[in-house]
Chains A and B, each alone.
Chain A
């Protein structure tokens, strides 16, 4: 915990001289006569894990999809790696797309391919590599995400939910992207697997120097691995910063989110834990 919070402070200090990887300005997105994003602005800095929270149906996934270019925007600008997607030539756009990896909520593994073929798919299509190297890299990625080698030749339908997420993460990391989008990576996992997955994302982020944009509902993930948290409500980012600032915020939605029935219990537990670390150990008589 301590290391993560000092890390968060470092992030705050270095804010000014750090690269902005994703910059969203005054984004407007809507479907039909419904406007979901009403002038949303958000920055993601290089090397950080940004947790993105918001109520169900508020458009967390829509923002991710808008950044990825899967949803048409009505206004505003999205710059990824300092480049405006819409202004790029098709070839440059493809090069840009190879610099990010996406873990979809349900994995989105290709059901007709084995796990290994899934991981090799981006390498095969985008790069010119020998089969030996592709095999080795696929197995290496499998090991990095904590899957056993015998999962390599299985089909997605033969995997459990947690294994699907890990395999999908391995595929997202196939080309060693600089930026990774995770859409609710721990949803549908049991608490043990979820904690393992959080830890995995943390280690990978440090080993590979990734920038992580993580949409999540999991308060535990926010506490354990996110450097910064951004909260979405009413079509805007209502707060962005280290978790501590959000916890101290007076915004009604944030209060309900972090200090409501579920969030409150967890926050209280965390605070207690921290206090206990400060207290001298009780002496046993």
Chain B
């Protein structure tokens, strides 16, 4: 038995007799009939709008729900406005309550204030600038809170949550190793391939090794790792803190007299600060390995030659320039992620928005920081 077979479609039949006009309704006047129901509701008005008096006969209606009752009542109201007198006949007792409950009333559409498009555009623009400034202000405040709670923890080392920190290092650092190694091998290989291919025109393909070494150690290793961690761990921190905020867990900490920064945020941010330099080191090695393999296979530079060329091209400070940046990147990612997590409001939508904003902001800030460091290192000639 299919569902459609069970349904009797709603119908309106007009019967004129000496006694007057009758509209006999039949079938299931339920929402199941969808737009068919609406059409039949309109037909009641159309069939009867030119008459003076009309009787609507409900004896053949096999089912009636709120939508059906509403449409019948709406039709009665529309007819009454055209000075047609309408009576309902043969209403089953179980329908009469429903018909009473759904008597027609106009629901006032809630008024929405309308503004000029240009006005709205300007207001939005201004608002976003103010928001950005406010965000920056809050960020600085948050950094201060974090530093002061770190100082407090340093003075009271027994309050430090070592287990939590180790768990974070495992989550953020150890478990990201495979993906970091993979993308860095690929990027090292791509840089090598492009370097060899472009420098070949000048017969200087062996310089590609210096290119790989300097580029990877100074910039690419730390940048790729930071972006990867911002996407992978920053988003996780925001989502975790955000859902804790939604479920009032943060408030529970506060009323116990515990600081969420000390309990939740310090282990996460410290975990990032410790993990990111280690990951950067692993990323550097992986990228150099990728570069070496491609140079050997594509440029005919043997690993031994690659190693000696690399040794000439780079010095300790090349490596240090990259690795010094890592903890700062970690701090930026961790603080932005935590701050956005705590700014989550009640709805699931808000959580989604905060995670997006956290990832976008931390990647942006990582690149800005990298630029600032480049300027700084150039200025001090390092």
Contact = CB atoms under 8 A, between A and B. Distances in A.
Name A's interface SS.
helix
A133 B107 contact: no
Interface size class of B (residues with CB under 8 A): 20 to 34
A155 B347 contact: yes
B31 A127 contact: yes
B83 interface: no
A129 B97 CA distance: 24
A127 B34 contact: yes
Contacts of A173: 66
B305 to A, nearest CB: 60
A129 B66 contact: no
A89 B314 CA distance: 69
B35 interface: yes
B312 interface: no
B349 A207 contact: no
B112 to A, nearest CB: 9
Interface in B92-132: 94, 97-98, 101-102, 107-110
Given A92-B3, A207-B97, A209-B94, A176 B30 contact: yes
A112 B34 contact: no
A129 B71 CA distance: 12
A206 interface: yes
Interface residues of A, number: 32
Given A92-B3, A152-B110, A175-B31, A207 B98 contact: yes
A159 to B, nearest CB: 10
B97 A111 contact: no
Contact of B110 (A127, A153, A209): A153
B57 interface: no
A129 B30 contact: no
B65 A176 contact: yes
Contact of B35 (A129, A139, A156): A129
A144 B3 CA distance: 29
B70 interface: yes
Interface of A: 92, 95, 98, 111-112, 123, 127-130, 133, 135-137, 139-141, 144, 149-150, 152-153, 155-157, 173, 175-176, 206-209
24 contacts: A95-B3, A111-B347, A111-B348, A112-B348, A127-B31, A128-B34, A130-B35, A133-B71, A136-B70, A139-B107, A140-B107, A144-B66, A149-B107, A149-B110, A157-B345, A173-B66, A175-B31, A176-B30, A176-B65, A176-B67, A206-B97, A207-B101, A208-B66, A209-B94
Given A136-B107, A149-B107, A208-B65, 10 more contacts: A92-B3, A95-B3, A111-B347, A129-B38, A130-B35, A149-B108, A150-B110, A155-B347, A176-B30, A207-B98
Interface of B: 2-3, 30-32, 34-35, 38, 65-67, 70-71, 74, 94, 97-98, 101-102, 107-110, 345-349
